[in-house]
Chains A and B, each alone.
Chain A
Amino acid sequence: MTTASQEKELLKGLAKSDKQAAETIYKNNYNMVQALIINNNGSADDARDIFQETMIVLYEKAKSGTFELHCQLKTFIYSVSRRLWLKRLHQLQRYGGQLENMEHTVPVEEEIEGHEQRNSQFQAMEKSMLNLGEPCKSLIEAYYLQKRNMTEIAGSFGYTNADNAKNQKYKCLMRLKKLFFAQHKNKDQ
């Protein structure tokens, strides 16, 4: 059993992308969620999907800094997974009613809603990145995602100097921005 203070520590670690914290939470809760999914028309793959999505919800919540856990971490994870699975089942039109294994749950509608919004932004960005094409995609990834420094990037991408790379990176960034906001507008309509 993890105490409330231990759980707080775990969430703090999660917010800092601490792998150890993520692994502990994963270890302690995965089997519970898997049982829920499999007992309700799901497969092991579904369970993996849903649990990881739940972890992302938790991660983003923890990162936001405003997250306060009012129940056991276990209960929160169960509630989110259950909600996500119900939604998935509904989309697949497999089942519309109640889920079995009713355990204590807390309302997580807000969290799910926020998560879905971020999800759509994430997908818009993903799509924009795909449409960006090479070498822009790799360049942007190297600088903004992997956070490598400009001189190093210039070397590995074959630019004569860091300034050249910077110029190129700027052009790519502007294109990505355009693509991203276009995606966003499409989504909003």
Chain B
Amino acid sequence: MMEDIQLSEAVERFLQGQMDAEELSRFEQLRKSNPEVDQFVVEHSIFLSQLNEFGERKHFRSSLEEIHDNLLGNGTIKTFVPKTKVVDLFRKYRRVWAVAASIAGIIAITVSGLVAYFTPNLTKPQLEQLSRKVNILEKQQNDLTNEVRDSSKVTSRVPVNETFKFGGTGFLIDAKGYLVTNAHVIKGAKTIIVQSHGQEFKASIVKIDAERDLAILKIDDNEFKPFASLPYGFKKTGADLGEQIFTLGFPRDEIVYGEGYMSASTGYNGDTMSCQIAVAANPGNSGGPVFNKNGEVVGILSTRQLQAQGFVFAVTAKNIFKSLDELKKDTTYQNIKINTLSSVKGMERPQQIKKIEDCVFLVKTYQ
């Protein structure tokens, strides 16, 4: 134990060069003769130099801190104003952002591409609303008849400085003079004239239900004599697939009969408010009634698909009921009654038509 202490002391003195010549030679001698001592000396030397280095470094480090604080204190070095956090974050994650943004971009483009690819192109232009655009020729014709009427002192209901724009079909839902037609038929109309058997009556808009494409009109004309009752009824449940149907409408100035069948219970692109019927329809048929064989209204003919033949759509009768229910919230119209019983049931078709045609009107709009 004591020897070890002395040896350790000796090594320290040796390392610091404190040994005199005599001691040094004895020390070297001892190392040569005793390998154990030699190993201890080597090991201890390494350790002590490590310890020394440790001390120096620690000292140097603390002096660096001191220098730093000094220099900072007298303004020789300045701490940078840190950049704003947002910019820092942006810089930090710039690559991540770039990658994320490009992935998002690619996905967005792909998705929109797929959506565009699988979505049927443009819904509206494929459907043609079957209201009739009346050409100038007819307008002139009207003017002519007006003149004739003027000469015979019959007052015309046609407004003088408005032009005949569109025509469609409408039919009575209440014997007092309430008509139903398509909303698109009377769109933008200033004056509406309804005509039956060549007799014209002025009508006003009671309600426009653009959502269901329905419009309810009222004949405001002294010459109109209300019916006692309507020959046809309205069937809320509509028609079944394959059921025979017939239509009455004014694709021209004369009432035209059409016959067909119920071909699908939904309308264009699965529209549940309408149904598909197979019947010949032309502009002017819009707003016309669709009857089943009993003479019950099952729908209102509204549109046809442009690219395909025989795809005609009708707003189902259920929607007339719904639209009327909404209208009846207004107390003025609470007396509107919708007939559900058809009095032409079981009759031959020509007899049915004879009864019904009085209640189907040509709707003319002026702008």
| Residues in B51-78 with C-beta less than 8 Å from chain A | 51-61, 63-65, 67-68, 70-71, 76-78
Looking at the complex, which one of B5, B57, B64 makes contact with A22 (CB distance below 8 Å)? Answer: B64
CA A122 – CA B65 in complex, angstroms?
A: 18
Q: Tell me if A109 counts as interface (CB < 8 A to partner B).
A: no
Separation of A43 and B83 alpha carbons in the complex (Å): 9
Interface presence of A91 (CB below 8 A): no
**Chain B residues with CB under 8 A of A30:** 68, 71, 77
B8 on the A face (CB < 8 A) = yes
In the complex, the answer to whether B50 meets A125 with C-beta atoms within 8 Å is: yes
Interface of chain B, main secondary structure: helix
- Contact across chains for A17 and B56 when beta carbons are under 8 A apart: yes
- Interface range on chain A: under 10, 10 to 19, 20 to 34, or 35 or more? 35 or more
User: What does DSSP make chain A's interface, helix, strand, loop or mixed?
Assistant: helix
B63–A17 CB distance below 8 A: yes
Contact flags A92-126 to B (C-beta < 8 A → 1, else 0): 00110000000000000000000000100110011
A59-B60 in contact given A23-B70, A41-B91, A180-B47 (Cβ < 8 Å): yes
Q: What residue in chain A is nearest B64 (Cβ atoms)? A: A52
CA separation between A172 and B174, bound complex, in Å? 116
Query: Does A56 make an interface contact (CB < 8 A)?
Result: yes
- Is there contact, CB below 8 Å, between A34 and B88? no
Question: Which residues from chain A contact B118 at a C-beta distance below 8 Å?
Answer: none
Q: Which of A116-148 contact B (CB under 8 A)?
A: 118, 121-122, 125-126, 129, 140-141, 144-146
A176→B8 CA distance, assembly (Å)? 14
B interface residue count range (under 10 / 10 to 19 / 20 to 34 / 35 or more):
35 or more
Given A56-B60, A173-B8, the answer on whether A94 and B51 have CB atoms closer than 8 Å is no
Contacts of A166 in B (CB 8 A): 5, 9
B70-A17 in contact (CB<8A): no
For the complex formed, measure the closest distance between the CB of A43 and the CB atoms of chain B, giving whole angstroms: 7
For the complex, what is the distance from the CA of A173 to the CA of B51, rounded to whole Å?
A: 10
A181 CA to B44 CA in the complex, in Å? Answer: 11
Are the CB atoms of A44 and B64 closer together than 8 Å? no
Residue pair A17, B60 in contact (C-beta under 8 Å)? yes
Q: List 8 A-B contacts (CB under 8 A).
A: A26-B67, A26-B68, A30-B71, A30-B77, A34-B80, A141-B55, A145-B55, A180-B50
Known pairs A31-B78, A176-B51 / 20 extra A-B pairs, C-beta < 8 Å: A23-B67, A23-B70, A26-B68, A26-B71, A27-B76, A30-B71, A30-B77, A35-B80, A38-B82, A44-B79, A44-B80, A59-B57, A63-B56, A118-B53, A121-B50, A125-B50, A141-B55, A144-B48, A145-B59, A180-B47
Interface residues of A, Cβ cutoff 8 Å to B: 17, 19, 22-23, 26-27, 30-31, 34-35, 38, 41, 43-44, 47-48, 52, 55-56, 59-60, 63, 94-95, 118, 121-122, 125-126, 129, 140-141, 144-146, 166-167, 170, 173-174, 176-177, 180-181
